[in-house]
Amino acid sequence: MKKKLVGILVASSMMLMVGCSAKESNKTEAEEIKKVFIYGSLRSDMFNYDIYLDGKVTKNDKATIKGDLSHIENKGYPAVTPGNGEVIGELMEFKDFDSTLKELDELEAYEVGKENENEYNREIVDVKLEDGTTEKAYYYEYNPPAEYNKDDKLVPVKHGDWKVYMEENNKK
């Protein structure tokens, strides 16, 4: 406990010495992120890709994140919550990152400042690429306590691949 507290105090002191707060430090990290991890219907060979992302993607790599994947039975799309499983998806870069991110925020029902109400919240996650390297990216994390999600029926997808789940269950 003492080591953790000392570490926090040292980090805070260093940030104050260079003139930034912890909040500003996180903001700087977020400003540097220009990629999104996609795990559901926006994947390159899924039904929403053509509608929302076709022609906007400049780079697309197979990747995974840590988390627990579920299929929301009453809505027909996936949800990822923090966990120890592996979620399979794609790490994408876009021609106009800011504009595309805004469109994705709207699709995912995410609004800054409404984290308790949003269907999904945009979070930063470590993404592992096929070559073993790790990068930071945004992803949309399901928000179970939101009123909008209160009646959802979550079906765990143990193998972590929503595309495979949809194919296995003839839902594509």
Measured between alpha carbons, how far is 28 from 32 in angstroms, rounded to an integer? Answer: 6
Which pLDDT belongs to residue 123? 97
Q: Which domain holds residue 157?
A: 34-168
- Whether residue 39 sits in one domain with residue 98: yes
- Residues 113 and 153 occupy one common structural domain: yes
Q: Which helix or strand (DSSP H or E) is residue 20 part of?
A: none
Q: Name the pTM for this structure.
A: 0.81
User: Are 6 and 38 found together in one domain?
Assistant: no
Q: Do 22 and 88 lie in a common domain?
A: no
Of 41, 65, 62, 61, which Cα lies nearest the Cα of 53?
41
Please give the tally of structural domains in the chain.
2
Tell whether 88 and 22 lie within a shared domain: no
158 and 146 assigned to the same domain: yes
Q: Do 73 and 23 reside in the same domain of the chain? A: no
For 116-165, the pLDDT digits (tens) are 999 999 999 999 999 999 999 999 999 999 999 999 999 999 999 999 99
Q: Are residues 25 and 54 in the same domain?
A: no
